[in-house]
Amino acid sequence: MTKIRNQLDHINQRITRALTHSGRTPDQPVLLLAVSKRHPLGKIQTLYELGLRDFGESYVQEALEKIQQNNHTDIIWHFIGPIQSNKTRDIARHFHWVHSVDRIKIAQRLSSQRPETMPPLNICLQINISEEAQKSGFSTTEVFSVIEEISQLPHLRLRGLMAIPKAEAAIDRQKQAFRQLRELMQQLNEQFQLNMDTLSMGMSADLEAAIAEGATIIRIGTALFGPREKT
């Protein structure tokens, strides 16, 4: 408890400092999403007791076990991992958010498989902002040709964009990619008359740069939980 509490305190200090430095006002808060993939449910419980409600998972089977075993009804579950088509039904039924929508077909399946009795599924489109061959996500041009159709899917609510930029040591280089994502969302909002409000960007190593460029959700694993367990 003490160790994880200290790590949470430290992250909260980093967030507060970054918000102050960037001149953001209290009406532009940032959500700390605790990335709990490959960490046991016990640690999620600990962070829940410390006040966190949003948890991010990357592997469907592992996530479903935690979702079913946990007995808090007010946890908000975010899916942030790669999505295979045969997993969309489980994701549509058990999550509140999906950050990693990277194909139109995945969006269509998530919408058609979202139960009618549940509110629309919040989604972000993953953008391959650094144009790396091995990374998934829409390219910054491709997204213009799919976003209109995705925004109209009935059981999804298009909230914004997500990116995992190439790792960079220098903060100016980190900021550059995050700024591109912010500008891309502005441009898409204007061109297609959308009201996306979410930039899911920034992880343990680059949260300061992400907050400076307008992140609304930062996804933090290692800096909060320590090293992940092997699968």
Contacts with ligand PLP by CB under 6 A lie at: 35, 37, 58, 80-81, 164, 203-204, 219-223
Q: Which CB atom, from 99 or from 175, has the smaller least distance to ligand PLP?
A: 99
Q: How far is CA 213 from CA 3, 14, 54, 66, in A?
A: 30, 15, 22, 33
Q: Which CB atom, from 107 or from 116, has the smaller least distance to ligand PLP?
A: 107
Say what the alpha-carbon torsion angle 105, 214, 139, 166 is, to the nearest 10 degrees: -110
Q: Which CB atom, from 58 or from 174, has the smaller least distance to ligand PLP?
A: 58
* Least distance from ligand PLP to the Cβ atom of residue 26, Å: 25
Q: What are the tokens at 124? A: 């972000």
Q: Which CB atom, from 81 or from 165, has the smaller least distance to ligand PLP?
A: 81
Q: How far is CA 88 from CA 128, 129, 200, in A?
A: 21, 24, 20
Using CB positions, name the residue nearest to ligand PLP. Answer: 221
Q: Which CB atom, from 22 or from 204, has the smaller least distance to ligand PLP?
A: 204
Q: β-strands 31-35, 198-200: how paired?
A: unpaired
Which residues lie below 8 Å from residue 104, measured CB to CB, with a gap of 6+?
146, 149, 150
Buried b / exposed e across 155-176, counting CB within 10 Å, b at 16+? bbebbbbbbbbeebeeeeebbb
- Tokens 């930039």 sit on residue: 199
DSSP 8-class letter at 138: B
Q: Which CB atom, from 80 or from 161, has the smaller least distance to ligand PLP?
A: 80
Other CB atoms closer than 10 Å to residue 4's CB: what's the count?
Answer: 19
List the beta bridge partners of residue 31: 217
Q: Which CB atom, from 40 or from 115, has the smaller least distance to ligand PLP?
A: 40
* Least distance from ligand PLP to the Cβ atom of residue 202, Å: 9
* Least distance from ligand PLP to the Cβ atom of residue 197, Å: 19
* Least distance from ligand PLP to the Cβ atom of residue 183, Å: 21
* Least distance from ligand PLP to the Cβ atom of residue 88, Å: 17
Nearest to 39 by CA among 21, 52, 25: 52
* Least distance from ligand PLP to the Cβ atom of residue 218, Å: 9
* Least distance from ligand PLP to the Cβ atom of residue 164, Å: 5
Q: What are the tokens at 28? A: 């532009």
